[in-house]
Amino acid sequence: MSKRFPNPRLGPADEPRPSLPVRAVNNPRVRAVCIQVAVFAVLVFALAAAVFNTAHNLRKAGIASGFEFLGHVSGFDIGQSLIEYSRSSTYARVFVVGLLNTLLVSTVSIFFSTLIGFFLGILRLSPNWLLNRMALVYVEVVRNVPLLLQVFFWYIAILSPLPGPRQAIDFFGAVFLCNRGLIIPRPVLDEGSRWVILAVVVAVVGVVGLKIWGDRRQRLTGRRAPVLLLSLLLVAGLPMIAMVATGYPVRWELPNLKGFNFLGGITLQPEFTALVLALTLYTAGFIAENVRAGIQAVPTGQIEAARSLGFRPGKILRLVVIPQAMRVIIPPLTSQHLTLVKNSSLAVVIGYPDLMAVFAGTALNQTGQAVEIIAITMLVYLVISLVISAVMNVYDRKMAIRER
């Protein structure tokens, strides 16, 4: 991707050498080899020393090394898990639970922060004085206060006004809001629900197909198909038909208060909500600035040209400005998303059970295997980062100007 300039000092390797006798000290190639060998040797020595010291210290401390602990029973419970987990599960499972929780909170925050960031970025350029000032103040406040503080702030801000579970705010007896979180009904899938799920999938595939067909038709004939209406019909209708045909196989399990807490339903924990809020609002401030810079990078001529073609402002933004701005926006946007994933590790301070909290936290404390666990954790974040940048690079390449 990046164009590398050759080091000005060392010419290309095949450059003809002057016939003057060059002392070895002054021969760049000899010198380069010496430097590299020296650096490499120092590094290898330091690494070897570190490894030996660690092995020695661990042996003395009587801490087992290796990855056998992953197969041992963990013996503790976790507050939120996307997969089956109990105290008799293994540490490997703890790892997966933590990883999934990290991915969940990151994905949700990436989605919302991008959305809000775009909205704010556009507001920053709004002709409305009040709005662009408010957006400016928001951006400057959010970007200049440490995220850790914001995470605490939102956690306290969410928890303090909410009532306890016995005084929970009740929405039609199905959805409850209290300081244990937002509890919503959980769908229970009975026999035949397979068909309903299939119908949903078919509907989604149908919508995508419809969009492609509609675009092509517009390009060929200039006539627009009522894609939106048809899509809505498809998405709402098909699963409905499937439901009726199979006799309502999906039931809703309503949460009900029993003892201390609500039983049944899906609980959206306040830790999760606070973390999502903090990550979203913080990152949105940064994305807003990227979006603003990207939009300002679009030449005014483009906007004027669009205007002279009779486009309305909304359409100019959607069809002319944003697609061109995207090319500028995507690289910094990617790095914001990467930062967000890494920042999600702050979950550890408010008790959201992410990878850092359950694996590099509780599991590390119980097993004492600091080296292995921290290495695995860092590797996971590294892999996530690499995957996100790979995906964004593909998208970036798709959006790049196709040179003619």
Partner 1 sequence: MRRKTWICAILAVFLCASGAVAGMLDTVKQRGVVVAGVSGKVPGFSVPDDKGVWRGLDVDFCRALAAAIFNDAEKVKFVPVTTKERFTALQTGEIDVLSRNTTWTFERDVQQGLDFAGILFFDGQGFMVNKKLGVNSAKQLDGASICIQTGTTTEKNVSDYFAANNMKFKPVVFESADESTVIYDSGRCDVYTTDTSGLAARRVTLSKPEDHIILPEVISKEPLGPAVRQGDNQWADIVRWTLFALINAEELGVTSKNVDEMLKSNNPEIKQLLGVEGNYGEQFGLTKDWAYRIVKQVGNYGEIFDRNVGPNTALKLNRGQNALWTRGGLIYAPPIR
Partner 2 sequence: MSYVKTVRTRDLPPPPTESGLIGWLRHNLFSSWLNTSMTFVGLAVLLWTLPPFLGWALFKANWLGDSQNACVQPMGNPDGACWVFIKVRFGMLMYGFYPEVDRWRIDYAFLLLAASAGPLLMAGLLSPKHRDERILMVVPSLAVPVILALHGAGPASLALAYLAAPTLLSRLGTRTGKLPPSTGFFGRASAIVAASILAYWAGVLAAQTLQTGLEGVIGLVAGFLVFLLPTLRRSSSAMWRLALLLTVYPCIAYAFFIGGGFGLRYVETDLWGGMFLTLVLAGVGITASFPIGVLLALGRRSNMPVIRALCIGFIELIRGVPLISVLFMVSVMLPLTLPEGTHINKLLRALVGVSLFYAAYMAEVVRGGLQAIPRGQYEAAEALGFRYWKSLRLVILPQALRLVIPGITNTVLGLAKDTTLVAVINLMDLLGILKSALADSNWLGFTKEAYVFAGLAFWVICFGISRTSMRLEKRLRYGNR
The neighbouring-strand residues paired with 169 are 177
- Judged by CB under 8 A, does residue 28 bind partner 1? no
Q: Angle 374-268-82 (CA atoms, 0-180°, nearest 5)? A: 50
Q: Are 112 and 286 spatial neighbours (Cβ–Cβ below 8 Å)?
A: no
Q: Are 116 and 281 spatial neighbours (Cβ–Cβ below 8 Å)?
A: yes
Q: Which does 307 bind (CB under 5 to 8 A by kind): partner 1, partner 2, none?
A: none
- Judged by CB under 8 A, does residue 48 bind partner 2? no
* Residue list 365-384, contact with partner 2 (CB under 8 A): 370-371, 374, 377-378, 381-382, 384
Question: Contacting partner 1 (CB under 8 A), which of 98, 117, 214, 353?
Answer: 353
Burial of 365 (0-12, 13-18, 19+ CB in 10 A): exposed
Question: Contacting partner 1 (CB under 8 A), which of 270, 279, 359, 388?
Answer: 270
- Judged by CB under 8 A, does residue 72 bind partner 1? no
Integer Cα distance of 163 and 217 in angstroms: 55
- Judged by CB under 8 A, does residue 180 bind partner 1? yes
Query: Which stretch, 36-44, 199-207, 267-275, 322-330, contacts partner 2 (CB under 8 A)?
Result: 36-44
Q: Select 160 or 221, whichever has its Cβ closest to partner 2.
A: 160
CA distances from 226 to 29, 89, 203, 207 (A): 68, 52, 16, 12
Question: Contacting partner 2 (CB under 8 A), which of 27, 53, 86, 256?
Answer: 53
Smallest gap from Cβ 26 to partner 2, in A, equals 10
If you ran DSSP here, which 8-state letter would residue 363 be given? Answer: I
* Residue list 92-131, contact with partner 2 (CB under 8 A): 126-131
CB proximity list for 128: less than 8 A, separation 6 or greater? none
- Judged by CB under 8 A, does residue 9 bind partner 2? yes
Integer Cα distance of 200 and 385 in angstroms: 32
Q: Select 198 or 382, whichever has its Cβ closest to partner 2.
A: 382
* Residue list 112-171, contact with partner 1 (CB under 8 A): 155-156, 159-160, 164
Residue 367's nearest CA partner among 59, 73, 53, 47 is 73
Per-residue DSSP letters for 369-383? -HHHHHHHHHHHHHH
- Judged by CB under 8 A, does residue 256 bind partner 1? no
Integer Cα distance of 356 and 350 in angstroms: 12
Name the site residues for partner 1 (rule: CB under 8 A): 45, 48-49, 52-53, 56-57, 60-63, 75-79, 87, 155-156, 159-160, 164, 179-180, 258-261, 263, 269-271, 348-351, 353, 357-358, 361-362, 364-366, 368, 370
